[in-house]
Structure 1
Amino acid sequence: MVHRIRFTLPRLLPVAGLLVLLASPYVQAEAPKEQWHTSIATGYGQLVETTEKLNNSARHYCEAPDKAKLDQVKEAWADGFHAWQAVRFVDFGPIQQNSLAWQFQFWPDQKNLIAKKVDAWVEGEQKITVENLAGDSVAVKGFPAIEYMLFDPRLEGKQLALPHPRTCQMLTTVTSLMASNAQSLRNDWATFKSHYLSTGDYGDATVLAAMHALETIENKRLGAPMGLGGSRRNAYLGDAWRSDQSLAALHSSLKGVQQYFVPGLKTLMQNSANQALFDEFESQLARTLERFADLPNDLAAMLEEDNGYRQLQFLYIDVERLSNKLSRDIAPELGVVKGFNSSDGD
């Protein structure tokens, strides 16, 4: 027997409602959302590749330690860390499960929990396994914990620096867990595709994610270390200060916005009255990225002398303008309303 599927036509919308619907930028938003999903998938793919490389490098080093292999681990850490920075703006979808963003990067760490937690594991007697580590704090599961083991001299004073057996076991366990998390994130993002494309709110969520990322760079990742919140200048409030990568991390995050967010936004806004706003935003992003060409990878030394601090001020102004272009000019035109974000507040 052949079963015919019957479709029930919806009631016609009132004319006013129909006009409002047609005016919405998200009526034809499947193309930009498709682009956003594909772009973010590419970024997550880079995260998988670099964390796998980091895990392999750590394992090879600990099997037969030498300086050359340790340098390879540090290089692999930097590659993975910057791949994470590029997709760090994505704050919705699978990354929200099990506090994954915090597992990749516990930050800010104003109480130095990373060092305390790693020390507790290395100095203790508990068996260091992925299963045991998975049940502990996010402070010991991500890039900052590995950074501590690779770059901080504190462990040397305890005679526990790499390649100490327990520190090596901790290193390879964290890198293994992080590589597994990256793989799960990529797979879950692929599964998430149909829901992402079919749910209208995720268009707004993607724009909001970029807004929150730029505001976090402006206020917390750059402004706070510069002392712009009323406190003293403090390099320890920045990202990756142990490895001298705090400014390089900002650059990678902005490059991620350029690579994984901007193309979809362009598709959304092209051939519309908002095209000029997009062009201004894209140009401001390019100018901001160019600013890094004359800057070192870290901001610590720049905070200590006038000329360096002046350069940071110029960078801050560019970031502020970029953030305002998106949140004050573009978002209202798209009907995107800023809401609470998990990174807001303390």
Structure 2
Amino acid sequence: MKKTTLLAALLMLLAAFGTFSCQKDSSTEQPTPDSSPDRKALLTQWADSLVKPGYQRFNGKLATLKAKSAAFTAAPAPATLLEARQAWQAAYVEWQKVELYEFGPAEEVSLRNHFNIYPADVAGINRNITTGSYNFDLATAIPQQGFPTLDYLLNGVAADDAAIVQQYAASANHRRYLTDVVAKMDQTFATVYGQWTGSYRDTFINNAGTDASSSLSRVINAYSLYFERFLRAGKVGIPAGTMSGTPRPDKIEAFYQKGALPLQLATTAHATVQQFFNGRTGRPSLKSYLDALDAKDSRTGQRLTSIINTQLDASYQQLSSLGPDLHTTITARNADAVASYNEMQKAVRLVKVDMTSALSVTVTYVDNDGD
């Protein structure tokens, strides 16, 4: 009996010691730090250092375009035409640096549809000018406005500069249409810019989740869509005939201006895509976010950001080789344009599949260009 009592007491003592030891170990454990990247910091960087300053710069170029086009319609002459054309070109290049921001207010008003859907519907534009009746908010009017329409109005409405000036001097309807196209651009962009300088900035950075309606998801989807559909396909693939099998140089951006501008627009857009990805050293960016997630290629173990940048570099170099005149290149050596499309397609796979997977972002758009 005594042995049994002693054994029971010993077991109770050991149990108590074990409980005490566990409690002591638990109390001395250090909490695991949250190593996930700061999404709100990333959104703040995008809003304050990219979107708002980019829109501010573009707003200045658009204001100059409005003033110079007004001066031309008030007094059509070779000098005022040249100034309006230069302002259009400068604004068009600047547009390439903000077009990918088709989320939030820009998405709500379909900013890209009002600014840069090409080729321009020349038959529709001429009909609008003749009748004097048009509504830029209709879906059918999308290719009858924006930068591509200004390309036609300032560069292609007649055979040469003297004839263009004479056309505007003789036709009040031409002067009115040019004025109305620029006014619609100014009005639509003012809505977007006003929201970003107002309350939307805070709405954007505070929507810091990862679901489909979050700011991160909307930005990543807009970014991927822009690179895939509007840069890869729109600026190179469709004109090169990669979808149709037949080169269509008439479908390039800035078709009526031609020369160096179409390729400048494309390379500016491509550089903007890569700059958005990398951001500024020491500041939050897509690259730093992915690196913080330790995103790697499953086959090679390399950092995903390194692989993406390597491919974007190769893609940019191939695109740059299509100069100096993109229209001539597609006509005379279209294989080079197809090669440029193919290099961009390699980057599309990295961005649309590997990057979105690493970010746990669902691709919510469908690209149906047939590739």
TM-score (norm 1): 0.79
Q: How does 1:200-211 map to 2 (within 5 A)?
A: 200=209, 201-211=214-224
- Does 1:28 find its partner at 2:34? no
Contact 1:31 1:267 survives alignment (8 Å): no
- Does 1:258 find its partner at 2:291? no
Q: Of residues 170, 174, 179 in structure 1, which corresponds to 2:186?
A: 179
Q: 1:122 deviation in Å?
A: 2.0
> Structure 1: how far apart are the matches of 2:130 and 2:46?
45
Q: 1:102 deviation in Å?
A: 0.6
Partner of 1:92, secondary structure, is coil
Contact 1:47 1:84 survives alignment (8 Å): yes
Partner of 1:336, secondary structure, is coil
- Does 1:296 find its partner at 2:304? no
Partner of 1:231, secondary structure, is coil
1:100 aligned partner, one-letter code: L
Residue in 2 aligned with 1:141?
A: 145
2:78 aligned partner, one-letter code: K
Provide structure 2 residue ranges, at least 5 long, that are not aligned to the other structure.
Answer: 1-31, 280-284, 297-302
Q: 1:153 deviation in Å?
A: 4.0
Contact 1:246 1:297 survives alignment (8 Å): no
- Kindly tell me: are residues 135 and 315 of structure 1, through their superposed partners in 2, closer, same or farther at Cα, counting changes over 3 Å? closer
- Does 1:269 find its partner at 2:280? no
Q: Of residues 62, 75, 78 in structure 2, which corresponds to 1:67?
A: 78
Q: 1:151 deviation in Å?
A: 1.4
> Structure 1: how far apart are the matches of 2:98 and 2:311?
20
1:35 aligned partner, one-letter code: Q
Contact 2:276 2:286 survives alignment (8 Å): no
Q: 1:188 deviation in Å?
A: 1.4
Contact 2:116 2:146 survives alignment (8 Å): yes
Q: 1:232 deviation in Å?
A: 0.9
> Structure 1: how far apart are the matches of 2:159 and 2:174?
9
> Structure 1: how far apart are the matches of 2:143 and 2:342?
32
Partner of 1:273, secondary structure, is coil
- Kindly tell me: are residues 180 and 153 of structure 1, through their superposed partners in 2, closer, same or farther at Cα, counting changes over 3 Å? closer
Structure of larger gyration radius: 2
Q: 1:252 deviation in Å?
A: 2.1
- Kindly tell me: are residues 234 and 65 of structure 1, through their superposed partners in 2, closer, same or farther at Cα, counting changes over 3 Å? same
Residue in 1 aligned with 2:226?
A: 213
Provide structure 1 residue ranges, at least 5 long, that are not aligned to the other structure.
Answer: 1-18, 127-131
Q: 1:82 deviation in Å?
A: 2.0
Q: Deviations over 1:170-209 (max 9, x none)?
A: 2122212212222221111233122211222211221221
Q: How does 1:326-341 map to 2 (within 5 A)?
A: 326-341=351-366
Partner of 2:123, secondary structure, is helix
Residue in 1 aligned with 2:122?
A: 115
Partner of 2:354, secondary structure, is helix
Q: 1:56 deviation in Å?
A: 0.5
Identical amino acids, percent of aligned pairs: 18
> Structure 1: how far apart are the matches of 2:82 and 2:165?
20
Contact 2:101 2:223 survives alignment (8 Å): yes
Q: Of residues 316, 328, 331 in structure 1, which corresponds to 2:341?
A: 316
1:84 aligned partner, one-letter code: W
Contact 2:247 2:334 survives alignment (8 Å): no
TM-score (norm 2): 0.74
Q: Of residues 304, 309, 317 in structure 2, which corresponds to 1:282?
A: 309
